[in-house]
Amino acid sequence: MRLEGVVVPLITPFLEDYSIDKEGLKWLVSYLSENGVNGIFVNSSVGEFASLTLDEMKLVTKIALDSRKSYSTLIFAGASTNFTEETIKLAKDFKDMGVDAIVVMAPYFFKVREKELLDHFSMIAEKVDLPIIIYNIPLFTGIDIPISVYKMLVSQHSNIIGTKVTLDSLIFFKKLISEIREIRKDFSILTGFDEYLLPLLYMGGNGGVMGLANAIPKLHLKVYESWKNGNLSDANKYWRNVLNLTDIYDYCNSYTASIKLLLKVLNMSIKNVVRPPLSICEEESKIREMIKDLSPFLTNSK
């Protein structure tokens, strides 16, 4: 399995009573798959995984697996918990369900040392017979996974296939790519920021796991496909559209609220509901103005 291109960290649709909107979820997964995204990451940060029960995480995963329109749309399941053995158990359940890979972040409560961090990921890799994607998001976990830990993990565990890095540092990406590729050329490095998609590709990365692709996947796909085909002028042009769209994050109090409001403004079948303690974003007029020039990317077909 090659981890590359445009992966969508799926938002979790809710009804007004905060229960999971199963029909909305089915629609969104189908929409993304039909548009040709390379992967869908359920139980993600923007998917409010921290506000989901373990049973709900499994439900979201099952619906995603049942709703994708093509097996070329890979399904990655977030299996992060603060208890390593619980993560292993959850990951094994996901394997039985048929996911293509699991995504695991560092513990997000205990501020563990480097050895404990290495042990956490190693235990999971040894006990779970699935491809594993390391999720490095120090904004939420308080832990920035050191490159030294990456190097030990990728040299010891062939089923650790890639990483999603949500870190505002091109210098970190440069060092990570350079040092990891000396050990494993097949290890995939993806950004968690929409803004970094094209810069990372130029640096030798493999793509991105980007929240705004929930709404307008064609735009991110145009960036990736243009770059891959060597059409750098087009890649730059489309990337500037992505950059402009990321201004939506400045108007809302969370990434999740921004994305759900955008889906509402686009008249998609997703309700503008987030689970407390998050709150909805109501800056509709600003968002409508922002997307007025993006109509070519808003059709459901690829």
pLDDT tens-digit series, residues 155-211: 999 999 999 999 999 999 999 999 999 999 999 999 999 999 999 999 999 999 999
Q: Over the stretch 93-117, which tens digit does the pLDDT of each residue have? A: 999 999 999 999 999 888 899 999 9
Q: CB under 8 Å to 44, separation ≥6 — which residues? A: 9, 10, 78, 103, 209
Is 302's pLDDT higher than 60? Answer: no
Please tell me the predicted confidence (pLDDT) of residue 156.
97
The gap between the terminal CA atoms of the chain, to the nearest Å, is 22
Mean pLDDT of 35-62: 97
The mean of the pLDDT values for the chain is 95
Q: What is the pTM of this model?
A: 0.96
- Point out the least confidently predicted range of 38-42, 68-72, 123-127, 131-135: 68-72
User: Please, which pLDDT band fits residue 57 given cuts at 50, 70 and 90?
Assistant: very high
Cβ–Cβ contacts within 10 Å for residue 233, how many?
Answer: 8
What stretch of H or E contains 207? strand 207-209
Query: Following DSSP, what letter does each residue of 223-273 receive, concatenated?
Result: HHHHHHTT-HHHHHHHHHHHHHHGGGGGTSSSHHHHHHHHHHHTT-S--S-
Please tell me the predicted confidence (pLDDT) of residue 296.
75
Q: CB under 8 Å to 84, separation ≥6 — which residues? A: 119, 120, 123, 124
Q: Over the stretch 218-274, which tens digit does the pLDDT of each residue have? A: 999 999 999 999 999 999 999 999 999 999 999 999 999 999 999 999 999 999 999
User: Please, which pLDDT band fits residue 1 given cuts at 50, 70 and 90?
Assistant: confident
